[in-house]
Structure 1
Protein backbone atom coordinates (compact mmCIF):
# COMPACT_ATOMS: atom_id res chain seq x y z
CA UNK A 1 0.00 0.00 0.00
CA UNK A 2 0.96 3.60 -0.59
CA UNK A 3 0.12 6.67 1.44
CA UNK A 4 -0.18 10.15 -0.05
CA UNK A 5 -0.86 13.34 1.85
CA UNK A 6 -2.75 16.01 -0.03
CA UNK A 7 -4.29 19.39 0.48
CA UNK A 8 -7.70 19.77 -1.14
CA UNK A 9 -9.06 23.24 -1.83
CA UNK A 10 -12.76 23.38 -2.64
CA UNK A 11 -14.22 26.38 -4.47
CA UNK A 12 -17.48 27.86 -3.18
CA UNK A 13 -19.69 25.97 -5.64
CA UNK A 14 -18.22 22.59 -4.58
CA UNK A 15 -18.20 22.97 -0.77
CA UNK A 16 -21.50 21.11 -0.33
CA UNK A 17 -20.65 18.28 -2.77
CA UNK A 18 -19.96 14.81 -1.22
CA UNK A 19 -16.80 14.33 -3.29
CA UNK A 20 -14.81 12.37 -0.69
CA UNK A 21 -17.81 10.10 -0.14
CA UNK A 22 -17.83 9.35 -3.89
CA UNK A 23 -14.08 8.63 -3.75
CA UNK A 24 -14.63 6.08 -0.97
CA UNK A 25 -17.45 4.39 -2.88
CA UNK A 26 -15.82 4.34 -6.32
CA UNK A 27 -12.13 3.74 -5.67
CA UNK A 28 -10.25 1.15 -3.62
CA UNK A 29 -8.58 3.73 -1.36
CA UNK A 30 -8.92 4.70 2.28
CA UNK A 31 -9.44 8.39 2.99
CA UNK A 32 -8.30 9.88 6.28
CA UNK A 33 -9.22 13.54 6.90
CA UNK A 34 -6.42 15.00 9.02
CA UNK A 35 -7.54 18.64 9.15
CA UNK A 36 -10.43 20.61 7.73
CA UNK A 37 -11.53 24.21 7.61
CA UNK A 38 -14.82 24.65 5.81
CA UNK A 39 -16.87 27.79 5.44
CA UNK A 40 -19.76 28.66 3.14
CA UNK A 41 -17.22 30.11 0.68
CA UNK A 42 -14.41 27.56 0.60
CA UNK A 43 -13.09 24.35 2.02
CA UNK A 44 -9.49 23.43 2.79
CA UNK A 45 -8.76 19.86 3.83
CA UNK A 46 -5.61 17.91 4.52
CA UNK A 47 -6.22 14.26 3.71
CA UNK A 48 -4.31 11.00 3.41
CA UNK A 49 -5.13 8.53 0.65
CA UNK A 50 -3.98 4.96 1.25
CA UNK A 51 -4.06 2.24 -1.40
CA UNK A 52 -2.39 0.97 -4.54
CA UNK A 53 -0.62 3.67 -6.56
CA UNK A 54 -2.91 3.24 -9.59
CA UNK A 55 -6.07 3.61 -7.49
CA UNK A 56 -4.69 6.68 -5.72
CA UNK A 57 -3.89 8.29 -9.08
CA UNK A 58 -7.40 7.50 -10.36
CA UNK A 59 -8.95 8.96 -7.20
CA UNK A 60 -6.84 12.13 -7.47
CA UNK A 61 -7.82 12.58 -11.10
CA UNK A 62 -11.49 12.18 -10.17
CA UNK A 63 -11.19 14.80 -7.40
CA UNK A 64 -9.56 17.23 -9.82
CA UNK A 65 -12.26 16.57 -12.42
CA UNK A 66 -14.83 17.62 -9.81
CA UNK A 67 -13.22 21.08 -9.68
CA UNK A 68 -11.22 20.65 -6.47
CA UNK A 69 -7.61 21.85 -6.43
CA UNK A 70 -5.24 19.08 -5.31
CA UNK A 71 -1.78 19.87 -3.94
CA UNK A 72 0.68 17.23 -2.72
CA UNK A 73 2.15 17.74 0.76
CA UNK A 74 5.60 16.92 2.12
CA UNK A 75 7.22 16.99 -1.30
CA UNK A 76 5.11 14.14 -2.65
CA UNK A 77 4.63 14.04 -6.39
CA UNK A 78 1.86 12.24 -8.22
CA UNK A 79 1.39 11.81 -11.94
CA UNK A 80 -1.65 13.00 -13.82
Structure 2
Protein backbone atom coordinates (compact mmCIF):
# COMPACT_ATOMS: atom_id res chain seq x y z
CA UNK A 1 0.00 0.00 0.00
CA UNK A 2 1.37 3.47 -0.86
CA UNK A 3 2.54 5.82 1.85
CA UNK A 4 3.53 9.47 2.13
CA UNK A 5 5.58 11.43 4.61
CA UNK A 6 4.10 14.77 5.58
CA UNK A 7 4.46 17.47 8.19
CA UNK A 8 1.43 19.06 9.82
CA UNK A 9 1.90 22.50 11.37
CA UNK A 10 -0.78 23.40 13.90
CA UNK A 11 -1.83 26.91 14.83
CA UNK A 12 -2.60 27.83 18.44
CA UNK A 13 -6.36 27.36 18.09
CA UNK A 14 -5.92 23.80 16.69
CA UNK A 15 -3.35 22.45 19.21
CA UNK A 16 -5.93 20.62 21.33
CA UNK A 17 -7.98 19.28 18.40
CA UNK A 18 -7.57 15.54 17.68
CA UNK A 19 -6.75 16.09 13.98
CA UNK A 20 -4.55 12.99 13.58
CA UNK A 21 -7.04 10.76 15.40
CA UNK A 22 -9.91 12.05 13.26
CA UNK A 23 -7.84 11.66 10.07
CA UNK A 24 -7.37 7.97 10.80
CA UNK A 25 -11.07 7.46 11.56
CA UNK A 26 -12.70 9.59 8.85
CA UNK A 27 -10.49 8.19 6.08
CA UNK A 28 -8.99 4.79 5.34
CA UNK A 29 -5.52 5.98 6.32
CA UNK A 30 -3.06 4.47 8.78
CA UNK A 31 -1.11 7.20 10.60
CA UNK A 32 2.35 6.68 12.07
CA UNK A 33 3.83 9.59 14.06
CA UNK A 34 7.58 9.80 13.44
CA UNK A 35 8.45 13.04 15.22
CA UNK A 36 6.58 15.84 16.95
CA UNK A 37 7.09 19.06 18.87
CA UNK A 38 3.95 20.48 20.45
CA UNK A 39 3.46 22.99 23.24
CA UNK A 40 0.54 25.12 24.37
CA UNK A 41 0.93 27.65 21.55
CA UNK A 42 2.02 25.83 18.41
CA UNK A 43 3.32 22.55 17.13
CA UNK A 44 4.29 20.30 14.28
CA UNK A 45 4.09 16.57 13.63
CA UNK A 46 5.89 14.46 11.04
CA UNK A 47 3.76 11.52 9.93
CA UNK A 48 3.84 8.58 7.61
CA UNK A 49 0.43 8.03 6.04
CA UNK A 50 -0.44 4.68 4.49
CA UNK A 51 -3.47 4.11 2.28
CA UNK A 52 -4.79 4.48 -1.25
CA UNK A 53 -3.40 7.55 -3.03
CA UNK A 54 -6.82 9.14 -3.55
CA UNK A 55 -7.81 8.50 0.08
CA UNK A 56 -4.59 10.13 1.33
CA UNK A 57 -5.23 13.15 -0.91
CA UNK A 58 -8.79 13.48 0.39
CA UNK A 59 -7.54 13.19 3.96
CA UNK A 60 -4.84 15.83 3.49
CA UNK A 61 -7.35 18.22 1.96
CA UNK A 62 -9.56 17.69 5.02
CA UNK A 63 -6.59 18.49 7.31
CA UNK A 64 -6.04 21.75 5.40
CA UNK A 65 -9.73 22.58 5.76
CA UNK A 66 -9.33 22.15 9.53
CA UNK A 67 -6.79 25.00 9.52
CA UNK A 68 -3.51 23.08 9.63
CA UNK A 69 -0.65 23.50 7.19
CA UNK A 70 0.42 20.34 5.31
CA UNK A 71 3.94 20.02 3.93
CA UNK A 72 5.06 17.12 1.73
CA UNK A 73 8.30 15.56 3.04
CA UNK A 74 8.96 12.82 0.49
CA UNK A 75 12.66 12.94 -0.26
CA UNK A 76 13.33 15.34 2.63
CA UNK A 77 16.15 14.44 5.01
CA UNK A 78 13.77 15.09 7.96
CA UNK A 79 11.44 12.35 6.78
CA UNK A 80 14.05 9.60 7.38
Aligned to 1:54: 54
Query: What is the Cα-based RMSD across aligned positions, in Å?
Result: 1.2
- Spell out the pairing of 1:12-23 with structure 2 (5 A cutoff): 12-23=12-23
Paired residues, number: 76
List runs of 5+ in structure 2 lacking aligned partners: none
Q: Deviations over 1:19-68 (max 9, x none)?
A: 11111111001000000100101011100100000100011001000000
**Conserved 8 A contact 2:4-2:74:** no
Q: Secondary structure at the match of 2:71?
A: strand
Aligned to 1:36: 36
Structure 2 length as normaliser, TM-score? 0.90
Structure 1 length as normaliser, TM-score? 0.90
| Alpha-carbon distance, 1:75 to partner | 4.3
**Conserved 8 A contact 2:29-2:50:** yes
Counterpart CA distance in 1 for 2:55 and 2:25 is 12
Counterpart CA distance in 1 for 2:31 and 2:5 is 10
| Alpha-carbon distance, 1:18 to partner | 0.5
